[in-house]
A and B are shown apart, each in its own frame.
Chain A
């Protein structure tokens, strides 16, 4: 086993309701779930897994504000300091004229910032190869994975029993 690799055991379920029931059972049995993989977002799963709400939207707000300030202060500086110019008798600082571009840059910054953050914190990007636990996960199977490292010898059997008991259709071990 190379450095950084870990041994896992995973089970595949055929339905998201089976998966949710299994996660509840794992919580009851105090089994530490490594991760859950699904073909689509399963609602109601996050609280069971103890996942806190994503803070991505807060990031979006900050990026958006950055866009607002960049646009508004940028145009203000250009029209009042760097190169004051009168267009059609309008004032040097035509705030109303700045609204459309300020809005557009707010949206642009928020979108690019959020999407970039999303990929970075997920460890994703063009050409990135993350370990795919099982090819059926992106098709029709719902997966629960446990790490088996650092546990006593009977732990794997206990997990196998858990999968069997909760109705997993496939149970495998793997080194990732």
Chain B
């Protein structure tokens, strides 16, 4: 899928004149050397946050939801805010690995592995919140329809909350299968270099992969169909999450714009998180040749587009609230922007709508430091967005006597910090155990997108394009034509 003719004016995706063996060396070595001090320090911090979170979760389960500051008016607070935030972050992984695969975007190969891992860890963090929020986690299996002795009592298939159960569990399972199947050939690469205990470990993880032609053929077929399945799946997941709100009768939630608006927001925040992680990862693991400025720029373009869609959605919401002539809807939006939580609305607007507009400038899109800070801004902004939608909307009930204000308790903050701990602990283990960049996929695109084969954008003249084409053909690339016929 990655191979095939590439326009010589495309920017190379693999730099440093890599050979196949050099790619193996570069991408396997982080799993082979002893952890660096920076990694150890980060791991300790992440593990501490995780521990704090686990303690807070135990307190919640032991004492009850009363340890949170939810009240009769504001029944969803940080919990569901965090749930939606994490689920949204997960969406970039599937977008990169599935949708960009279908669109044949070769730059996905540099970041897909890490982004998919991020998806899985983010979904784990997300799923925690509804599980503990129901209050009685020990009977949480009641969610699932199975023949039981309670009547039998079935769940309500009309409820978007039940759809969510199916959506999230399917999403998690499919992402995990997709990710792991992609990892198997790379685990085999690590296995064939390893000795002793590591050899046994990677032999187990590699599932007996041999690299036979028929296996590769099936592997590609499987990846393509899984990508085809994951594409509508990823759109369905956040659509269903938005149904949790949109099918209610709460002013400010009961809108048809929610599904596309949520999906765009999810991709927006997910790409921001991918940027945060990849900018650190490429620096720490020296992967600048594989995760190039071109990759960062491509992701920034996605951030710009989705951020602008989100911005348009915010404005549309405001316009429709006014245009509807429905006083409750109008009040909900008036309250969001100018009510007691005005700061979160303005935080959201500044971080999500204004800040990504800087990415119209190519200079900023290709500036690593700027991108890093922007990615943090976007993540903060998207967290505020969910908080605005959930808590601030609920805070002003129909009856002014029920109006309320909500400040999270230390337990709620702790669980949020804990999920960040879970996420980063898993991610740090992942970068130690698995190749962060998909080895086989990079080798696959090398001859189409390696810098010794593809010409850099800036220096290309028509003459160079022509001579470049001849060089490519001389290097045996004329045979790429018509390859996709089989």
Contacts and interface: CB of A to CB of B under 8 A. Distances in A.
Contacts of B213: 35-38, 42, 45-46, 49, 51
A78 B486 contact: no
- Which of B4, B178, B222 is most buried by chain A, counting CB atoms within 10 A of its CB? B222
Contacts of A122: 214-215, 218
B192 interface: yes
B231 to A, nearest CB: 10
Interface string A48-69: 0101011011001000100000
A105 B219 contact: no
B408 interface: no
Nearest to B166: A104
A118 B232 contact: no
A128 B479 contact: no
B63 interface: no
Interface string A18-62: 001000000000000001111111111111010101101100100
Contacts of A90: 158
A112 interface: yes
Nearest to B187: A138
A78 B219 CA distance: 38
B331 interface: no
B466 interface: no
A56 to B, nearest CB: 5
Interface residues of A, number: 70
A17 B473 CA distance: 12
Contacts of A131: 210
A163 B155 CA distance: 65
Interface residues of B, number: 71
A114 interface: yes
Contacts of A45: 213
Contacts of B153: 83
Given A37-B210, A78-B145, A129-B208, A100 B166 contact: yes
Nearest to B168: A104
A41 B219 CA distance: 9
Nearest to B20: A140
Contact of A40 (B166, B224, B243, B441): B441
B203 A78 contact: no
Interface in B427-474: 440-441, 443-444
B177 A111 contact: yes
B209 interface: yes
Interface in A69-116: 74-75, 78-79, 82-83, 87-88, 90, 94, 97-98, 100-101, 103-105, 107-108, 110-112, 114-115
B196 interface: no
B204 A126 contact: yes
Contacts of A118: 181, 218-219, 222
A54 B184 CA distance: 19
Nearest to B177: A115
Interface string A114-153: 1100110111111111111101111110010000000000
B181 to A, nearest CB: 6
Contacts of A64: 229
B104 to A, nearest CB: 13
Interface in B327-381: none
Contacts of B169: 108
Given A38-B213, A51-B213, A107 B229 contact: yes
Nearest to A75: B157
A137 to B, nearest CB: 5
Nearest to B243: A100
B185 interface: yes
Contacts of A100: 160, 163, 166-167, 236, 240, 243
A125 B207 contact: yes
A108 B173 contact: yes
Given A54-B218, A94-B158, A137-B211, A114 B204 contact: no
Contacts of B208: 123-125, 128-130
Contacts of B20: 39, 139-140
B54 interface: no
Contacts of B192: 132, 135-139
CB-based closest 6 A-B pairs: A128-B208, A140-B20, A135-B192, A130-B208, A41-B216, A17-B476
Given A42-B216, A143-B211, 15 more contacts: A17-B479, A37-B210, A43-B484, A56-B218, A57-B221, A57-B225, A83-B151, A100-B167, A104-B233, A107-B174, A114-B222, A130-B210, A135-B193, A138-B189, A140-B20
21 contacts: A17-B476, A35-B212, A36-B213, A39-B211, A40-B444, A41-B219, A42-B216, A53-B486, A54-B217, A83-B153, A83-B154, A100-B166, A104-B170, A107-B229, A108-B173, A111-B178, A118-B218, A122-B214, A130-B209, A140-B19, A140-B443
